[in-house]
Amino acid sequence: MEKTIKKPIFKETVAVTTMELDDGLVFNAQEVGPMNFASLRNADYGKDFRMPTMPEIVPLVYASLENKNYYDTAKNVIKTLRNNLITCNTGILYVPNGMYVQDKPERKDGRIFMDQKVLEKKLGSREENGVVFSDDGSVRLVSYDFKRGSQSALDLARNLGIIALTGSEENAEKLAKASEHYKLKPYFWALENVDSPQIRVADLGSGSFGGRLGVGADVSEGYGGGYSFGIFESARKSS
């Protein structure tokens, strides 16, 4: 890794069943599911809690794995990750020339609505190593020049598809560090060579291939086996 990611501080408050991370993120410790994307998006996570995006769920998974020997709430996140998929409020639009990623995507008629022309207009001038961002960072675009399938933790940290999916190089590095808690190399599930627009949702899991961190950008929004942990809306720091 080129950067040093500090060990996260994980604080559990059992009385109110929340998990607080050192970057100001607060999660409801009780998982919600199994449900499809639409149901998870509309689920009741508690007052002022909502479904988290992929950039928000990555710190939770990383902090849980780094603190797995100390907190029951961390163990619960890891168990959910192992036995199910943790689905995120992040949509992926595959088009012939690249992959768009959008946090909190719009929904129309009960389905995710991601239109290439609309997303293109949202993109700004910010570009980091081939990943183009909107001004607020909620929309990202990357070409298909990224590695899929099994790869080393170092490759995962530098993978442009992972950076686009997780919203930052720091989050990609956190996923890479998280993947080192498993014996097998991490795996990146993503489509390729599409000839027509395809919409998918982001997720994380660790139960495949006997235990490895799997980063998903290929699951249909209709998949009904997803789980999630609510994030406290006002706990998010402004970006």
**CB-CB contact of 186 with 151 (8 Å):** yes
What percent helix, strand, coil does the chain show, rounded to 5?
Answer: 30, 35, 35
* Alpha-carbon distances of 131 from 62, 154, 193, 195, rounded to whole Å: 23, 18, 19, 21
Instruction: Note the pLDDT of residue 16.
Output: 46
DSSP code, position 20: E
Cα 135 from Cα 147, distance rounded (Å): 26
The answer, yes or no, to whether the previous bond of 8 is cis (omega within 30 of 0) is no
pTM for the model stands at 0.90
CA pair distance 41, 195, nearest whole angstrom = 29
User: Mean pLDDT of successive 10-residue segments in the chain (239 residues)?
Assistant: 64 59 86 96 94 97 91 93 97 97 96 97 93 97 96 98 97 97 97 94 93 97 97 62
DSSP-derived secondary structure for 199-218: EEEEEEE--GGGS--EEEEE
In 3D, which of 66, 83, 19 has the Cα closest to residue 227? 83
- Among candidate residues 43, 18, 35, 159, the one with its CA nearest the CA of residue 87: 35
> What does the pLDDT read at residue 17?
60
Which residue has 């689905």 as its token pair? 87
